[in-house]
Chains A and B, each alone.
Chain A
Amino acid sequence: MTVAAGIGYALVALGPSLSLFIAVISKRPFLILTLLSSTLVWLISLIILSGIWRAFLPLNSTTWWPFAILIFTSIAFQEGLRLLFWKVYKRLEDILDAFADRVSKPRLYLTDKMQIALAGGLGHGVAHAVFFCLSLLTPAFGPATYFVDRCSQIPFFLVSAIIALAFVTVHTFSMVIAFNGYAEGNKVDQLFVPSVHLAAGMMTLINFAYGGCVIGIPLLFLMAILTVMHCGRMVWRRLSESQRQVDS
């Protein structure tokens, strides 16, 4: 039963990513490599951040503003890293195109580019879920569960799994939006991504209040749904545009 509960928590957090991985990523070795490297990038960013913040830990758990500063700096750092990731990707795309020319295969399709972005985003999301949820799940396989004071309605593992699910979604699809925004030079999309990330991060601050998770988690999922819808609209628009170009 406890093992079942642990696996259940893990699947709540990572189930959608798992199906995405099996359906899209696993068939193409290059996407797997992209996913792994983006996971590694996220891990390195987390290590750097924790190295910076190590001196101030443990934070006083009665005041909320140090956490706000922490989340703000972390998100700013990670969004900066996303820009770097984009630069590297841009170079990679050129190399891939040159390679495709050399072996006389077609260049990267629009869907290919989007899939690479998706793999990169999924890497970020999976890394988030793994380090913030899965790695704390070890006690969940044992014969007990754990509640935190501030959110005493549901077990801690379930809350963290649900929050991780929201963040996986945000991370995964915001990478697609961001890459597309950079490629098109679309200012709205470029700004949309950091603001969604920041808003989602700040919404976890609501959990700080007693019983705040009842309000915070639905808001978080609102952000996730917003991201997915924006991404879906954008992809639809791009695909129909390119279809029109092919037709005409």
Chain B
Amino acid sequence: MESSILESIGQEIIGVMSPVSLCMLLVVLLVYSLSDSNPFSSSSAPIRTAANLVYLENPSDSTAQKLEGALLNALVFVILIAIVTFVLVLLYYYNFTNFLKNYMRFSAFFVLGTMGGSIFLSIIQHFSIPIDSITCFLLLFNYTIVGVLSMFSGGMPIVLRQGYMVSLGIIVATWFTKLPEWTTWVLLVALALYDLVAVLAPGGPLKLLVELASSRDEELPALVYEARPTVSRNEGNPRSTLGLLVAGVSDSGSVELQAVSNNNVRRDGAENRRSPEYTAIQVRNSENVEGERNRDEGERSPLVGHSRERYSSDSNSSEYSTVIHNRESETSVDEEMSPLVDLLGMDNEREHERRDSVVASRGIKLGLGDFVFYSVLVGRAAMYDLMTVYACYLAIISGLGCTLILLSVCHRALPALPISITLGVIFYFLTRLLMEPFVVGMATNLMMF
């Protein structure tokens, strides 16, 4: 029996969703097991961080006071983040790449070492694991060093890198769950709004960063989770399926979006592990058929012997190739940053890259911040009840799915926080206010349906 299409559809979505789910699950477990150990200490000594500089929440304060303080906290935090991001963009703009890299190495080391270390300590204390301090220090040091190396240098297995990304997200998220309740909620909403502005608005820092990075053909100078496809080597090209499927949904009108995968390239590219992916956008007007093949960055090996019936394929060593296919003539434009792409008014942008998730030649990318704040939401929900955890998890995952589908429609960087966080917050309060009394009232009477 030939393999059915169900095997390939949605692989890229699952590739992003499973690490996010894993991260959330572990954060919930951590929050659960650690908050059990000292149920009263969380209120006794609230920590002072950048996220509650202005106002320290007190359980006895009135609601208006709490709301006002939380709003101020969130405002200050978002402004801080914006300033830091702008500084980052400036540094990147003036090519302080080495400084940035070293700074990120240091901060990853610091986060893994100190914050991770304190979480490990509390785990050891809570489960009373017998371990001496030297061994513990040695293990922690090794863990940290391997983490820094695997995140910032090549040659490490991708699984290790992904694992460390997830663990970094878990550590930061666990720290964020120590914030007081009101501040957390307002902060999450504010961050979602900030994310929306920073990625989509014309002068947004993250948009600038993504554009800079893609125009220089470099990696994003940020911590980004890459969902690299692992199965795609032997069979087909699963990443293009999402675009195709969406095209099937939305192929009304004259513009047809079509992703064309190229299997023979994959076959002869034995050492070409980062096989390129071709995306062809066909804009069908009544007069002419224009085909544009867009090659993403990250591809440096020349391709020989690649041919399709309708496209000429002399695109060695060029970054972008635009092929205009008229009725009779075939013109092939072959230059870097072809201005024709803009002149023709294609709806396909030159870069498919985005901050949060990138359909580039290396799969979808998700910023680490999204991991962290999804997990913060779920972790905060875990402090109330398990029911809210499930509702928030489902809401966040469906929001992520919506974002990914939008991504395959828009082909540009999209913020991953707004949809998910909005849905998550709405579902949290709906569950807490409406559903819980209903379900508990039914279930304790042993009534179900």
Contact = CB atoms under 8 A, between A and B. Distances in A.
A71 B398 CA distance: 28
Given A50-B434, A95-B249, A204 B449 contact: yes
Interface in A187-242: 197, 200-201, 204-205, 207-208, 213, 216
B439 A135 contact: yes
B4 A75 contact: no
Contact of B386 (A36, A99, A134, A216): A134
Nearest to A72: B449
A164 B449 CA distance: 9
Contacts of A98: 248
Interface stretch (B78-86, B91-99, B293-301, B387-395): B387-395
A59 B449 contact: no
A49 interface: yes
A148 B443 CA distance: 11
Given A50-B439, A108-B4, A29 B448 contact: no
A231 to B, nearest CB: 19
Interface residues of B, number: 46
B6 A102 contact: no
Contact of A54 (B395, B431, B438, B446): B438
Contacts of A71: 447, 449
Given A29-B13, A136-B443, A47 B448 contact: no
B259 to A, nearest CB: 10
A106 B3 CA distance: 8
Contacts of B9: 29-30, 96, 99
Contact of B446 (A31, A57, A148): A148
Interface string A55-97: 0011101000001001100110010000000000000000110
Interface residues of A, number: 71
Contacts of B72: none
A204 B391 contact: no
Interface stretch (A14-22, A37-45, A172-180): A37-45
Given A106-B4, A135-B439, A204-B448, A33 B386 contact: no
A220 B4 CA distance: 37
Contact of A131 (B2, B390, B427): B390
B437 A54 contact: yes
B252 interface: no
Contacts of B11: 29
B358 interface: no
A100 B398 contact: no
B4 A207 contact: no
Interface string B377-401: 0000000011100110011011001
A67 B447 contact: yes
Contacts of A245: none
Contact of B439 (A108, A109, A132, A159): A132
B437 A33 contact: no
B446 A213 contact: yes
B244 interface: yes
B10 A46 contact: no
Contacts of A51: 430, 434
Contact of A150 (B386, B430, B438, B446): B446
B363 to A, nearest CB: 14
A14 B440 CA distance: 19
B248 A160 contact: no
A62 B237 CA distance: 61
Contact of B5 (A50, A99, A151): A99
Nearest to A205: B447
Nearest to A59: B441
A197 B442 CA distance: 17
Contacts of A99: 5, 9, 241, 244-245, 248
A145 interface: no
Contacts of A29: 7-11, 13-14
Interface in B1-52: 1-11, 13-14
Interface in B390-431: 390-391, 394-395, 397-398, 401, 427, 430-431
B409 to A, nearest CB: 15
Given A30-B10, A40-B395, A164-B448, 6 more contacts: A30-B7, A103-B5, A105-B2, A130-B390, A131-B390, A136-B440
29 contacts: A29-B10, A30-B7, A30-B10, A36-B401, A43-B390, A46-B438, A46-B439, A50-B434, A50-B435, A54-B437, A54-B438, A57-B441, A58-B437, A61-B445, A70-B442, A96-B6, A99-B9, A102-B244, A103-B5, A106-B2, A108-B6, A115-B6, A116-B6, A131-B435, A135-B386, A136-B443, A167-B449, A207-B447, A213-B446
